[in-house]
């Protein structure tokens, strides 16, 4: 995706960066296979038949195949009991060929998400959402075994684009457990001065305008206008919002939380939607699985 002709911003190509990372992972998987006769294994658990979940899961399984990670497919029916899901997680915890366990969210209403996620062994928590991993992330001088994939991808995009974080003002828009909260903790670990803007914040515009780094993860289509962005700021847009577009065959197009067209004229660098953060999330999941396998095999 190109910026308009009068643009200043460099486009951060998440697809290309993710492909580079996948190539690095494939080489390491090959090395493990040669040295130990084993490859990393990722178990993906999906409950029910939500279309969006199904497509995310098939993307993850395809990505595993591409880098040589063995995929364990656990497809459970919508009406499965919570106890059966927990039992399946325990089985995977005990399986030495599985180095990472991912439970695709959201789970059906009758299943307690927190209970299921807490049952995943911390050594196999490649999504990085176990309370112990998040707790360590929040504490100075502690290192979680795994970092959540999307936040990790955001930081990786900044560092591979040459954006310095230390001492910079970073504003995170959104405070979800999946992105906003953990990415703010990661920025803090990297010595940024961090502000979180959320639905109850007064005058988000003036706060965002001071940011050297903006991580937009609010789930509000084109909420952040070009005029809200400090000239030269780095903008990472995590939002994926469908907006009506009659010119598209599907009847909609995907946009981020930032008005890309306007932001291009002001920002120093910016991720497009799609093709920015999305591919990085899957690449980081593969990297976490590889790291889990290395910890087990090399210990």
Q: Catalytic site residues?
A: 60, 104, 127
Task: For residue 3, give the DSSP letter.
Answer: P
DSSP bridge pairs for 173:
197, 216
Using CA atoms, how far apart are residues 164 and 71, in angstroms rounded to an integer?
36
How far apart, in whole angstroms, are the C-alpha atoms of residue 151 and residue 135? 15
Distances (CA, A) of 244 to 109, 127, 217, 252, 263: 29, 32, 20, 4, 21
**Do you find a cis peptide bond into 274, omega within 30 degrees of 0?**
yes
- Phi then psi for residue 183, to 5 deg, are -70, -35
Could you give the CA distance from residue 66 to residue 26 in angstroms, rounded to a whole number?
Answer: 8
The tokens for 292 are: 């889990």
């Amino acid at each position: 995706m190109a910026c308009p002709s009068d643009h200043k911003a460099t486009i951060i190509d998440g697809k290309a960066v993710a492909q580079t990372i996948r190539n690095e992972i494939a080489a390491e998987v090959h090395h493990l296979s040669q040295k130990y006769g084993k490859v990393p294994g990722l178990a993906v658990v999906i409950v029910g038949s939500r279309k969006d979940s199904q497509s995310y899961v098939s993307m993850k399984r395809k990505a595993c195949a591409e880098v040589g990670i063995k995929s364990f497919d656990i497809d459970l029916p919508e009406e499965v009991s919570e106890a059966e899901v927990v039992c399946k997680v325990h089985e995977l915890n005990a399986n030495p060929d599985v180095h990472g366990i991912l439970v695709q969210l959201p789970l059906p209403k009758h299943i307690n998400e927190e209970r299921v996620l807490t049952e995943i062994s911390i050594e196999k928590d490649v999504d990085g959402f176990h309370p112990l991993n998040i707790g360590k992330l929040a504490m100075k001088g502690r290192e979680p075994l795994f970092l959540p994939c999307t936040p990790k991808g955001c930081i990786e995009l900044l560092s591979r684009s040459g954006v310095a974080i230390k001492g910079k003002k970073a504003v995170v828009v959104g405070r979800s457990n999946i992105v906003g909260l953990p990415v703010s903790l990661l920025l803090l670990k990297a010595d940024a001065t961090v502000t979180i803007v959320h639905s109850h914040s007064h005058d988000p515009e003036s706060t965002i305008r001071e940011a050297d780094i903006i991580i937009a993860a609010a789930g509000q289509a084109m909420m952040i206008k070009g005029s809200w962005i400090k000239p030269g700021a780095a903008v990472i847009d995590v939002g994926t919002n469908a907006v009506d577009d009659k010119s598209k065959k599907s009847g909609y197009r995907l946009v981020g939380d930032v008005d890309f067209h306007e932001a291009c004229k002001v920002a120093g660098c910016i991720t497009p939607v799609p093709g920015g953060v999305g591919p990085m999330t899957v690449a980081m999941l593969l990297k976490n699985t590889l790291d889990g396998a290395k910890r087990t095999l090399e210990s």
